[in-house]
Structure 1
Amino acid sequence: MQTNNTAEFQKPKKGILLVNLGSPKSTNVKDVKEYLDEFLMDEKVIDYRWMFRALLIRGIILRKRPAKSAEAYRTVWTDEGSPLIVITEKIKEKLQKMVDVPVEIGMRYAEPSIKTGIEKLVAQGVTEIVLFPLYPQYAMSTTETVVEKAEEVRKEHFPGIRINYVQPFYNRENYISCLAESIREKLPAQFDALQFSYHGVPERHIFKTDPTNTCNLNDCCSRDSNPSHTFCYRHQCYKTTELVLEKLNIPREKAIVTFQSRLGNDKWIEPYTDETLENLPAKGIKNLAIVCPAFVSDCLETLEEIAMEGKEEFLHAGGEQFHYIPCLNDEDRWIQVLKDLCDEKLNEFYLV
């Protein structure tokens, strides 16, 4: 008598989880405070001991910042909701049409959480997940915290699933070509400089992620074959810039690299975006184009901080033309890059 062992030999089902930063569920001060508490209390974001972190964030920052942040969110909020969430959903929908495995989204902070995204995939029978942190460059406050959180969730709630992580893609040819073409199409005909504004991180984060303990925040970023580069956010930002400039055939002297969104009084990597915007007109740069390649989807940090506040700073200082270049968002060429990078990791499951 034969037994049916079909279930026993059934192939594992694969899925994709796209992970972005996250957003408050509304512009209500209470919701913004709840979001900021989860975000800023992450030890990978503000890397102090828990007690000092709690005193700083809950005792000082969260007393005034939520109201100010809520006001900022209101300037970019759409009828559909948070731009970051809305755009990530659109990316998911487009990617889903291009792949034959389930696709869900998760946010590192707030909802839909990483746990929620995995639950949705598991409910569809998925046992092997390609998790894609939507950050081109590696940083402990982005890629690292996403991977650690996903592993924590997997071990606690889904021990039977496997996760394969897409690595930072800051220097991948397909991504660089995609980014360069997107910028090329949006550049004004005439501009004095192209500014690359990346999200900033405290200097100590660069040292903490350096496995060689040799970083000097200077010439080491440009050395060839430096093992620190795999985990150096600063190097990866400069490398992205260099490769994009090559594609655009723009001379290095016409480009500016800066870092935005610093918080508190700690030393963050320089030069700072806001100070640079205030100083450029005095140096003869009156017609400026600016792009934010640390982000793949427009959000508060690009729409409010750069396209609105940054523009005001530049024009007030004597600038004449300020041209913000949007993120890749749900452009079709970017969705193709997403698919290609996910396919690589989906195929790796077969090799294990």
Structure 2
Amino acid sequence: MPRYWTEPPFKHGTSPRTGVLLVNLGTPEAPTATALRPYLKQFLSDPRVVEIPRLVWWPILNGIILNTRPKASAKKYASVWMDEGSPLKVHTERQAKLLAGYLAKAGHDGLDIAYAMRYGAPSIADTLNAMRSRGCTRILVLPLYPQYSASTSATVFDEVGRCLARWRNQPEMRFVRSFQDHPGYIAALAQSVRDHWAVNGAPDRLLLSFHGVPRRSLDLGDPYHCECHKTGRLVAEALGVAPERVMVTFQSRFGKAEWLKPYTQPTLEALAAQGVGRVDVMCPGFVADCLETLEEIAMECKEAFLEKGGKVFHYIPCLNERDDWIRALMELTRSHLGNWLDIPPLDAAASAACQARARALGAKQ
């Protein structure tokens, strides 16, 4: 196999374009054990996701987890599956389409807006190749993870690098590292809470639940914990509520190792035991509803809180297709595109003509 892929043939009339690639975590193709197995294998085989030596982890993954977890996970996915498919994929696709529309209305109708999943389909490799075929010579990669972590954002950068390593004619690239304190993102989160409270009243406690990571990652220098707390502080300040009424917690713990604390479900159970009657839970680390928000929080955590004596539990949905969030996403995109919005990309036709002339000269020599 050659190290570099052959570049696609140049198509006359193709104008060079600037592209934006939104990337989210991923999803199985269907809520079945058969579909879950390859998805989980790809996800849990990433050394940034599971930082255990492969000699130790590989027998556990292939001998135990992939033979037991797919069936249990499939039932959970089935409980939140939408008519159009996985909630995460549905919302991410809608966000990409809305972003394209908002940018076009703002005068940037020549941009190529696409989305991909880090694990599963559409893959980063397939989407980048499709963008290349559409003439993209500049690409901004925007992982939809507000808070940076090596196990999320960095895996996207890794995969993009692996894909481009096979390209002979590479595009210019830019990356969004994180946006945990972006004013538009914070404002959209706060307004989402206000909108919910305007209809349902305010709770005794507001929990901001973020996806957990192993505690060891914090000790090794991962900034995720700090960025989650910064988002939580800024949301509380924007809402103007007393700090003791807002709590930052971490969910989705996996395995027996210590993860970032406090854990979401045990915190909810403790609040119920203490006599706290109503809690609202929001998940600022997810910009699109998914299994972790719709099943783990809105179903499992709600049941746990009520069983321990809590009276009222409300889940506040993710930003999804909110107008203020898409506008914030547009501003985030424009700020990182920067001068790419003003300077046209390298003319692909001129580049192809130069290469043809060079080949012709070489043939004469």
Whether TM-score is above 0.5 comes out as yes
Q: Deviations over 1:106-156 (max 9, x none)?
A: 100010011122122112100110111000001111111111111111112
- 1:158 deviation in Å? 6.2
Q: CA 1:307–1:160 in structure 2 vs 1: closer, same or farther (change >3 Å)?
A: same
Matched, 1:328 2:319: yes
Q: Deviations over 1:205-251 (max 9, x none)?
A: 1222x2xxxxxxxxxxxxxxxxxxxx511111111010011110011
Alignment of 1:158-307 (within 5 A): 159-187=169-197, 188-208=200-220, 210=221, 231-307=222-298
- 1:175 deviation in Å? 1.4
> What is the match of residue 81 of structure 1?
85
Contact 2:32/2:75 (<8 A) preserved: no
Structure 1 distance, partners of 2:263, 2:286, is: 17
> What is the match of residue 153 of structure 1?
163
Contact 1:197/1:259 (<8 A) preserved: yes
Name the amino acid aligned to 2:153.
Answer: T
TM-score normalised according to structure 2 size: 0.85
Name the amino acid aligned to 1:191.
Answer: P
Of 117, 134, 143, the match for 2:127: 117
Name the amino acid aligned to 2:138.
Answer: E
Contact 2:17/2:112 (<8 A) preserved: no
Name the amino acid aligned to 1:255.
Answer: V
What secondary structure, in the 3-state scheme, does the structure 2 residue paired with 1:198 have?
Answer: strand
> What is the match of residue 342 of structure 1?
333
Q: CA 1:135–1:249 in structure 2 vs 1: closer, same or farther (change >3 Å)?
A: same
> What is the match of residue 148 of structure 2?
138
- 1:167 deviation in Å? 2.3
- 1:43 deviation in Å? 0.6
> What is the match of residue 224 of structure 1?
none
- 1:290 deviation in Å? 0.5
Q: Deviations over 1:58-81 (max 9, x none)?
A: 122112111000000000001110
> What is the match of residue 316 of structure 1?
307
Contact 1:21/1:109 (<8 A) preserved: yes
Give ranges in structure 2 of 5+ residues lacking alignment: 1-10, 104-108, 346-365
Could you say what the CA RMSD is over the residues aligned between the two structures, in angstroms?
A: 1.8
Q: CA 1:159–1:56 in structure 2 vs 1: closer, same or farther (change >3 Å)?
A: farther
Q: Computing the radius of gyration over CA atoms, which structure comes out larger, 1 or 2?
A: 2
- 1:307 deviation in Å? 0.2
- 1:190 deviation in Å? 3.1
Contact 1:104/1:120 (<8 A) preserved: no
What secondary structure, in the 3-state scheme, does the structure 1 residue paired with 2:165 have?
Answer: helix
Contact 2:229/2:248 (<8 A) preserved: yes
Structure 1 distance, partners of 2:315, 2:152, is: 24
- 1:333 deviation in Å? 1.1
Contact 2:275/2:309 (<8 A) preserved: no
> What is the match of residue 361 of structure 2?
none
- 1:200 deviation in Å? 0.2
Q: Deviations over 1:138-197 (max 9, x none)?
A: 111111111111111111246511221112110121211121111211133131100011
Instruction: State the number of aligned residues.
Output: 324
What secondary structure, in the 3-state scheme, does the structure 2 residue paired with 1:140 have?
Answer: coil
Give ranges in structure 1 of 5+ residues lacking alignment: 1-6, 211-230
TM-score normalised according to structure 1 size: 0.88
